[in-house]
């Protein structure tokens, strides 16, 4: 009965969300009819696929053709069934509508994942799970690109779908969906590795608990396997586990579908001569460690309604007082990384259509010492991030943090779109907030979406020596 009630609530909110999104979609499509920004590459390429010209490729496109293949696979049958002809077939508006469908799919997947992760939390009702999924589906950076023909909505859909299948134990299906995610964006191979990492974390957690039971030690509920006293034992346990042929064989048998995807991706990288297809001049990997700090700050901002509280701030101060040398070392290392590994991409300095341009100019460039002065904030953001995930096992945390670092550090360009998937996974695995906090989070997302869409539609500007309208966007 409870699950049926939750289904009714979710269906009603999903319908309302789709109706509102359709109204916004109509307004945006009328306000910006022609392809804009990266759409000038994506739309013509998709239209070539619609015409059956699968051998033609724009060398400026750096991602694989997953978006175009799905678009053609959805639009062509609809065209045939509806009997449409003319310019409506694979028009800019029709292609953009594909992402609106992905948005509905993302809402459904977020709800299923939330239900799977938090169903045993008896302190939260069906309303909490539905509100959380709705709030995350309107996450501003992701929601904005629902209305343009970008890869983000589809990339998020296939990655979340793959992770859901992992949670259900359908690893072959998860690996296959992971291939779909990689076809949208090559870096999604990191999240396929994360799916494998959760399988490994589950096996390690079971073995760890068995070992603890043999020693007649009990791990309190909700506590991470790692504590100050457990660190040495966990390291020894990991070394014993990976050097045990029988345990390692069992782990490989469980995770072999993901290993097959990794092997296929490695073959692609070798044959392609790199991860990027097309133009590689602006997508060179580097060790940009401050990207991790930017992501942690980004996560702190957007998760503030759900995670921050006066009690948490007091807890941080107590932790700071108890372990001053640990925080001093963390701050010193952060200062070193900011000093030696900060890179500024040419797009960040030149493209005033994107919000990161203004963040960089008005914050980081105000004074040469500002990047260093922000380090205490980074330390707090890192503490808040890990504190929010302490309900997960140490093995899960190690897998997730490794994937977050792999997804952010190699990126030279500060681009908020790169933070979508790691943030959503972080927020999904936090303890489910109260109804009041969820409503506050939803209100924050709504206000930011309204402001972003207003700026995009109603405050266009011109570049010198260019007649084209330019618009503000994420």
Residue 222 has pLDDT above 60, yes or no: no
Would you place residue 259 in the very low, low, confident or very high pLDDT band (cuts 50, 70, 90)? very high
Would you place residue 231 in the very low, low, confident or very high pLDDT band (cuts 50, 70, 90)? low
For residue 199, with 0-12 CB atoms within 10 Å meaning exposed, 13-18 middle and 19 or more buried, which class applies?
buried
Alpha helix ranges (H) inside 430-473: 435-458
CA angle 346, 348, 353 (to 5 degrees): 125
Over the stretch 78-104, which tens digit does the pLDDT of each residue have?
Answer: 777 766 665 567 889 999 999 999 999
pLDDT value for 205: 84
Express the helix, strand and coil content of the chain in percent, nearest 5 each. Answer: 70, 0, 25
What is the pLDDT of the chain when averaged over all its residues?
89
pLDDT value for 217: 52
Mean pLDDT, residues 422-432: 96
pLDDT value for 211: 72
User: Quick check: 167 and 113 in contact, CB under 8 A?
Assistant: yes
Residue 309 has pLDDT above 90, yes or no: no
Residue 73 sits at φ, ψ, to 5 deg, of -65, -25
For residue 414, with 0-12 CB atoms within 10 Å meaning exposed, 13-18 middle and 19 or more buried, which class applies?
buried
pLDDT value for 5: 65
pLDDT value for 196: 95
Residue 106 has pLDDT above 80, yes or no: yes
Residue 228 has pLDDT above 50, yes or no: no
Between CA 450 and CA 45 the distance in angstroms is 30
pLDDT over 70 percentage in the chain: 92
pLDDT value for 410: 94
Between CA 114 and CA 225 the distance in angstroms is 23
pLDDT value for 34: 92
CA angle 228, 230, 233 (to 5 degrees): 140
Model pTM score: 0.92
Using the Cα atoms of residue 111, residue 112, residue 114 and residue 115 in order, give the sign of their dihedral: positive
Between CA 50 and CA 226 the distance in angstroms is 53
Over the stretch 131-161, which tens digit does the pLDDT of each residue have?
Answer: 999 999 999 999 999 999 999 999 999 999 9
Give the DSSP letter string of 303-368: THHHH--HHHHHHHHHHHHH-HHHHHHHHHHHHHHHHHH----HHHHH-TTBHHHHHIIIIITS-T
User: Quick check: 212 and 218 in contact, CB under 8 A?
Assistant: yes
Residue 236 has pLDDT above 90, yes or no: no
Q: What CA dihedral angle connects 361, 365, 367 and 369, to 10 degrees?
A: 130
Between CA 71 and CA 69 the distance in angstroms is 5
Mean pLDDT, residues 278-299: 89
Between CA 159 and CA 189 the distance in angstroms is 9
User: Quick check: 54 and 268 in contact, CB under 8 A?
Assistant: no
Residue 1 has pLDDT above 70, yes or no: no
pLDDT value for 120: 78
Over the stretch 4-60, which tens digit does the pLDDT of each residue have?
Answer: 667 777 888 888 889 999 999 999 999 999 999 999 999 999 999 988 899 899 988
Residue 224 has pLDDT above 50, yes or no: no
Kindly report the three-state secondary structure assignment for every residue of 168-206. CCCHHHHHHHHHHHHHHCHHHHHHHHHHHHHHHHHHHHH
Point out the least confidently predicted range of 72-76, 332-336, 457-461: 72-76
């Amino acid at each position: 009965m409870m699950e049926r009630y939750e289904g009714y609530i979710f269906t009603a909110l999903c319908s309302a969300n789709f109706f509102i999104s359709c109204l916004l979609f109509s307004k945006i499509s009328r306000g910006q009819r022609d392809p804009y920004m990266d759409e000038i590459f994506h739309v013509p390429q998709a239209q070539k696929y619609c015409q059956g010209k699968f051998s033609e490729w724009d060398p400026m496109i750096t991602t694989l053709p997953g978006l175009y293949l799905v678009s053609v696979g959805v639009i062509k049958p609809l065209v045939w069934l509806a009997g449409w002809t003319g310019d409506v077939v694979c028009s800019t508006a029709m292609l953009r509508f594909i992402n609106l469908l992905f948005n509905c799919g993302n809402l459904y997947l977020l709800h299923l994942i939330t239900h799977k992760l938090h169903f045993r939390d008896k302190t939260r009702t069906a309303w909490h799970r539905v509100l959380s999924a709705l709030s995350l589906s309107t996450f501003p950076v992701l929601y904005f690109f629902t209305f343009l023909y970008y890869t983000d909505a589809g990339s998020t859909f296939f990655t979340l779908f793959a992770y859901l299948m992992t949670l259900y134990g359908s690893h072959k299906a998860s690996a296959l969906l992971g291939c779909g995610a990689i076809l949208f964006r090559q870096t999604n191979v990191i999240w396929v590795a994360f799916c494998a990492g959760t399988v490994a974390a589950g096996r390690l957690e079971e073995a760890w608990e068995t070992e603890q039971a043999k020693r007649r030690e009990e791990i309190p509920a909700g506590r991470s396997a790692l504590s100050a006293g457990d660190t040495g034992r966990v390291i020894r346990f990991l070394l014993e586990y990976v050097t045990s042929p029988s345990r390692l064989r069992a782990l490989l048998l469980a995770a072999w579908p993901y290993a097959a995807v990794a092997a296929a991706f490695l073959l692609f990288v070798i044959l392609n001569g790199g991860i990027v297809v097309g133009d590689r001049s602006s997508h060179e990997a580097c060790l940009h460690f401050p990207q991790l700090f930017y992501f942690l700050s980004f996560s702190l901002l957007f998760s503030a309604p759900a995670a921050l509280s006066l009690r948490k701030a007091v807890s941080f101060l107590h932790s700071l007082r108890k372990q001053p040398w640990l925080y001093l070392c963390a701050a010193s290392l952060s200062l070193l990384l900011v000093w030696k590994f900060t890179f500024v991409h040419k797009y960040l300095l030149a493209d005033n259509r994107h919000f990161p341009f203004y963040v960089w100019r008005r914050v980081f460039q105000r004074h040469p010492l500002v990047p260093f002065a922000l380090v205490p904030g980074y330390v707090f953001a890192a503490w808040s991030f890990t504190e929010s995930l302490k309900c997960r096992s140490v093995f899960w945390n190690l897998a997730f943090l490794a994937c977050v670092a792999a997804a952010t550090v190699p990126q030279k360009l500060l681009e908020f779109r790169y933070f979508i998937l790691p943030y959503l996974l972080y927020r999904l695995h936090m303890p489910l907030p109260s109804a009041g906090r969820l409503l506050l989070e939803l209100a924050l997302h709504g206000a930011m979406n309204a402001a972003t869409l207003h700026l995009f539609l109603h405050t266009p500007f011109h570049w010198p020596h260019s007649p084209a309208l330019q618009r503000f966007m994420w």
